[in-house]
Chain A
Amino acid sequence: MLKTAFAERYVHPLPENHRFPMEKYDLLYRQLLYEGTLESSNIFIPDSIAEEWILKVHDKSYLDKLINLELTSKEQRKTGFILSKDLVQRELIIMEGTRLCSQFALEFGVALNIAGGTHHAFRNRGEGFCLLNDFAISAHWLMNEVRLDKILIIDLDVHQGNGTASIFQNDNRVFTFSMHGANNYPLYKEKSNVDVGLEDAIGDNEYLYLLSKNLDEILTQFTPQFIFYQCGVDILDSDKLGRLNVSIQGCKERDKIVFNAAKSLGVPVVCAMGGGYSPDIKVIVEAHANTFRLAQNIFI
C-alpha cells in the first residue's frame, strides 16, 4: 500500500506572480488520482503535528514566534512567505504528514508526502519556503519512538539541505547526504556528512554516475535502518532556479536509483517532494508524478 499524505491545506493562497508554484500540490494530487497511480484509499489527511515533536528539533522561542506570528519582516522575507495563521497551520500539517509517512513506511516499506522536504528550516529560523524541518522532526520521532539510531537523509534537491545539515551536524545517528548545485542557493553551505557540489549544466550521465557512486558507498558504510529522500525536481534542465541540465528522464532515473537501493536493502523510505520551479507547471507535475509511479512499480 502506497500511503500518501495530502490535505487541501497544502495549497496555500499566495500573491499573484509569487515564484513558489503552490498549485503544483493540488495538480499533482489530481493527476495521480486521475491516472490511477493512487486511489483514494492511498491518501491520508494529516492533522497538525504535536508540539512535542517540533520541540525535539526547533527552539521553543522560534516556534512561539512562528505560532504567534511574531517573525520580523526580515525573518519573513527569508522564508519567502508572508506569515499567517493559515500558513503556519499548513506547515504543521505537512510536518505531521511526513511523520505519519514514517509510520506507514515502517509498515509498507515506502510512503510519500505530496509536500514537505522542508530542508532549509534551521533550529531557530526558516529560509527558502521552509518554516519547520519535516525530515528532522520525523527522524527524531523515529529515534525516540521506534528507537532507530541509523537514519539516512538523501537530499537531491538542487539546493543544499542546509537546515537539515545544520540540525544534525553533531548527531551521528543521522547521516546527511546532499547532492546539489555548487553555485546555487544557499551561498553559504552547511556541512553535511557528504556534500556533492555539482557544477552548472551537469548532464544526466554524470549526474547519475555521481549519485550511484556516492550512494553505494554511503549505503555500504552507514547501513541505514531508515531513509528520508528529498526528491526536488529543480534539477531539471527546464528549471528557472536550477542551473543543472538533467532531463526529465534523468530525473526519473535518479528516483529509480534511490528506490531500488532502498528496496534491495529492505530499508523503509519516506519521500517528500521538495522544490521544482520549471516555468511550465506541467513539467513539474509530470516529474513529481514519476516519483509516485516509480514508487508504485518498485515497492508495491
Chain B
Amino acid sequence: MLQSINIFSSVADKVKIQHETLRTKLVKEEKANIIASHYGVISQDLINRLADTIEDILLSFGEDKTKIKRIFSIFIEGCRNIRSHGSFDEQNQQTAFIMVIRVKGVYQLYFSNLIDNNDIESVNAYIESINDSNLVDIKLMHQSSLLNYVQNQKDGSGSGLLIMRLRSFNQLNSNFININEQLSLFTVKVEVLN
C-alpha cells in the first residue's frame, strides 16, 4: 500500500520552498536584479555583512546617499523585526528569509518570518492602520512609540513597520501563508518610492 509522503514536511522546508518560489518568480517573471537574498536564520553576523554589501552595491549603482540611507534603514528595521518577533520552528530555529531586489530601477525589500496563527489578526489590523494613515500621522505614531518606552529586542513592537512605511514613502504590502495549524509565514514587501 502506498503511503503519501510529504517531502516538505518540516516548517523550515516549507519556508525554503516559499523563498525559492518567490525568488524564481521575481527573477523570471519580473526580471528582478537580486541584490541580496538569504533563507535561514537571520543572525547578527549576517545582518552586519549584508548591511555592508547592500550599501556597497547601491553605491556602485550610483544611488544618492539619501536613498541609500532610506533603503538601509528599511533593511535594518526589517531584519530587527524578524529577530525580535519571528516565531520559531519545531527545531527551535527562527527560520525566515529576506530579499532585496531591484526591478526596473525600483527597489523592493521582502522580509518573511514565522508567525503564530493567533497573532495574524492583530498584525494584519496593525498594518492596515499604518497603511490607512498619512506620513505625518505615522511620524507622530513613531515619536510616541519612542519616548518613555523601553526598546530592546523583545519590545518596540511595530516601531520597525512604522519606519519602513516612513522611509519607503509607500504602503506596506503583506501576506500570510499557512504553514501548519500553529504557524504561518508572514511576509512584508516594501517598495521604495523615489
Contact = CB atoms under 8 A, between A and B. Distances in A.
A192 B153 CA distance: 16
Given A182-B152, A213-B73, A193 B147 contact: yes
Nearest to B84: A199
B51 to A, nearest CB: 4
B139 to A, nearest CB: 10
B73 A203 contact: no
B52 A205 contact: yes
Interface residues of A, number: 25
Given A193-B147, A194-B146, A217-B143, A202 B153 contact: no
A197 interface: yes
- What are the 8 tightest A-B residue pairs by CB atom distance, in nearest-first order? A197-B152, A203-B48, A205-B51, A201-B44, A195-B150, A217-B146, A199-B44, A196-B151
23 contacts: A191-B150, A193-B148, A194-B146, A194-B150, A194-B151, A195-B152, A196-B152, A197-B151, A197-B152, A199-B83, A201-B48, A202-B44, A203-B48, A205-B48, A205-B76, A206-B48, A209-B76, A210-B76, A214-B151, A217-B142, A217-B143, A220-B143, A221-B143
A245 interface: yes
A250 to B, nearest CB: 11
Contacts of B148: 193
A191 B152 CA distance: 11
Interface in A159-214: 182, 191-197, 199-203, 205-206, 209-210, 213-214
Contact of B73 (A197, A201, A209, A222): A209
Interface string A134-176: 0000000000000000000000000000000000000000000
Q: Is the interface of A mostly helix, strand, loop or mixed?
A: mixed
Interface centre among B51, B73, B142, B146 (most CB of A within 10 A): B146
A182 B152 CA distance: 7
B41 to A, nearest CB: 13
Given A193-B147, A205-B51, A217-B146, A200 B152 contact: no
Q: Is the interface of B mostly helix, strand, loop or mixed?
A: helix
Contacts of A196: 151-152
B61 interface: no
A125 B8 CA distance: 58
Interface in B129-178: 142-143, 146-153, 163
Contacts of A202: 44, 47-48
Nearest to B49: A203
Nearest to B50: A205
Nearest to B148: A193
B152 A209 contact: no
A26 B58 CA distance: 44
Given A194-B149, A209-B72, 17 more contacts: A191-B150, A193-B147, A194-B147, A197-B151, A199-B83, A200-B44, A201-B45, A205-B48, A205-B76, A210-B76, A213-B163, A214-B151, A217-B147, A220-B143, A221-B146, A245-B44, A245-B48
Contact of A206 (B76, B143, B150, B152): B76
A246 to B, nearest CB: 10
B44 A205 contact: no
B62 to A, nearest CB: 20
B48 A221 contact: no
